[in-house]
Amino acid sequence: MNRLGVHALVWVGGWSEAECDRAVTSTAALGYDFIEIPLLDPYGFPVEMTCRRLERAGLGATASLGLSPETDISSEDPAAVARGEDLLNTAVNVVRDLGATHLCGVIHSALMKYMQPRTERGMANVVAVLRRVAERAAAAGITVGVEVVNRYETNVVNTAAEVVSLIERIDRPNVYAHLDTYHMNIEEGFVGLAIERTGERLGYFHVGESHRGYLGTGTVDFTAVFRSLARIGYAGPIAFESFSSAVVDPKLSNMLGVWRNLWTDSHDLARHAKAFMEAQLLAARRAMAVPPG
């Protein structure tokens, strides 16, 4: 069975003590297995407080982040690359101290619209930095997920094929593809085929609708998605991700282009998402168990 989780930004826009308590308590109350925590500031992250809340709730955790232009490891600026590597190493330390299992997200570039193609020099920086970060993560038993996002949020990896190629260059056993249905719906011709071609390289999966609202109300073909996950025997974490400007921090909301309130009731949204994912997983497994013809 896949562990099911929910992104903390479904519940809160930051990570104060009150926000942490609400996000963790709400996630656990709905029966999710883990919460995905955004490391908005790894240097100032409240590890001890968060650990207490997670332990009290009996909840697992993963963590994700996106780099900024100042910490862009795909840059040709050595200073920016060095800052990015330090940030990622700090994030690994936070994930380790939380007892979390995965560090994922846009850890390969700044989360922004680039106005030029990636460069080979920049890609070499990505490979070198993530190789060292992965080695540090491996020593702590942490899996590293390189997230594929659309062309308006990176120029490094926009498709499953591109992330597999990057992972092969990094060549570390704890580095996997992090796929996201929201981004795949933009960039992939056949989402299910992209999942199947990623195969054993897939290590973390985001479920998000085409408009990032309620699952099943947009254009993502979730039947194909979950059947393809079943075909490759994917047993890793699956996290629901959704954003609304009613909840997300304004700075992040502006960065992601979340201009409208797709929902206001976090509890109803997350409850619906869990039931939707469970139903899709069950239907896909049953479909795969039926002999063709």
Strands 143-147 and 60-67, bridge-based pairing = unpaired
Assign 261 to helix, strand or coil: coil
Q: How far apart are CA 109 and CA 147, in angstroms?
A: 10
Of residues 36, 147, 153, 188, which has the active-site annotation? 147
The catalytically annotated residue of 36, 153, 209, 241 is 241
The DSSP symbol for 142 reads -
DSSP secondary structure string for all residues of 85-122: HHHHHHHHHHHHHHT-SEEEEEEEEESS--SS---HHH
185-214 core/surface letters (b: 16 or more CB in 10 A; e: else): bebbeebbebbbbbeebbbbbbbbbebbbb
120 is an active site residue = no
CB proximity list for 80: less than 8 A, separation 6 or greater: 69, 70, 71, 72, 73
Q: Is 241 a catalytic residue?
A: yes
Please, which residues have CB within 8 angstroms of residue 133's CB and are 6 or more apart in sequence? 85, 88, 89, 92, 107, 144
Give the active site residues: 147, 241
